[in-house]
């Protein structure tokens, strides 16, 4: 056994002794209290049939992309799906990522630059925090849904400012005061980024005006 294997085994043993070793499971539960499948899409036989029927009509649909989208893995069906998503959100365009984690890391890390400022709610997703760490921007967090603390951070922010929040926070299910936060962002010329992972399809937010 080499040193690398000894190190890995010692760490695994340490986790086992502390009761912190986690293992994958293939168990299924009759009632789901832990996933993000709020609307039951993952278990819907109707949706599965609809997907299969749609794919039968997609020209040259393969079992995989065979490469990155920039080189050989792009498909017209993907672009049409992105356009459909953009239309649903009344946006100019859409971009599909492999996962929500990739989307958050990719978005934040590509926007903010050194000298800019990212101000985030203290309870945002870890993926957003990871993206912010890659930017070398100034980073502040404000107390959860606390407008006073947010404004205090906005007053000392430099460069291009990004405020990062969630509309619905997954752990407690509470809502962000979106109108008030947006007003502060407009006042301090900050860009507002809202993670909708736990709100889409579950909560409808309309413009009262």
Q: How crowded is residue 131: how many other Cβ atoms within 10 Å of its Cβ?
A: 25
- Output the pTM of the full model: 0.83
Distance CA 164, CA 198 (A): 15
Which residues fall within 8 angstroms of residue 59, CB to CB, at 6 or more apart?
Answer: 76, 77
pLDDT of residue 36: 80
pLDDT of residue 127: 95
pLDDT of residue 143: 97
pLDDT of residue 205: 60
Contact 158, 187 (CB under 8 A): no
Is it the case that residue 171 has pLDDT exceeding 90?
no
- Long-range contacts, 86-94 (Cβ 8 Å, 24+): none
The number of angstroms, rounded, from the C-alpha of 190 to the middle of its chain's C-alpha atoms is 20
Is it the case that residue 196 has pLDDT exceeding 60?
yes
Is it the case that residue 88 has pLDDT exceeding 70?
yes
Q: Quick one: which of 115, 92, 118, 122 has its CA closest to 107?
A: 118
Is it the case that residue 193 has pLDDT exceeding 60?
yes
Query: Of 20-34, 79-93, 134-148, 160-174, which range is least confident?
Result: 20-34
């Amino acid at each position: 056994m080499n040193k690398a294997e000894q190190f890995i085994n010692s760490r695994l043993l340490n986790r086992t002794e502390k009761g912190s070793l986690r293992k994958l499971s293939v168990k299924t539960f009759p009632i789901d209290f832990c996933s993000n499948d709020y609307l039951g899409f993952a278990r819907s036989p109707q949706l599965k049939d609809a997907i299969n029927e749609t794919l039968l009509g997609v020209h040259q649909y393969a079992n995989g992309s065979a490469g990155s989208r920039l080189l050989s893995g792009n498909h017209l069906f993907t672009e049409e799906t992105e356009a459909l998503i953009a239309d649903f959100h009344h946006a100019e365009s859409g971009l599909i990522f492999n996962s929500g984690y990739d989307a958050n890391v990719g978005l934040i890390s590509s926007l903010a630059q050194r000298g800019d400022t990212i101000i985030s709610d203290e309870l945002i997703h870890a993926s957003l925090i990871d993206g912010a760490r890659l930017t070398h921007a100034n980073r502040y967090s404000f107390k959860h849904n606390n407008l006073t603390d947010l404004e205090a951070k906005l007053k000392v922010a430099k460069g291009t400012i990004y405020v990062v929040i969630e509309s619905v926070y997954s752990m407690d299910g509470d809502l962000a005061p979106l109108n008030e936060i947006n007003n502060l962002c407009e006042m301090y010329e900050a860009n507002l980024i809202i993670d909708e992972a736990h709100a889409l399809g579950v909560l409808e937010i309309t413009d009262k005006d």
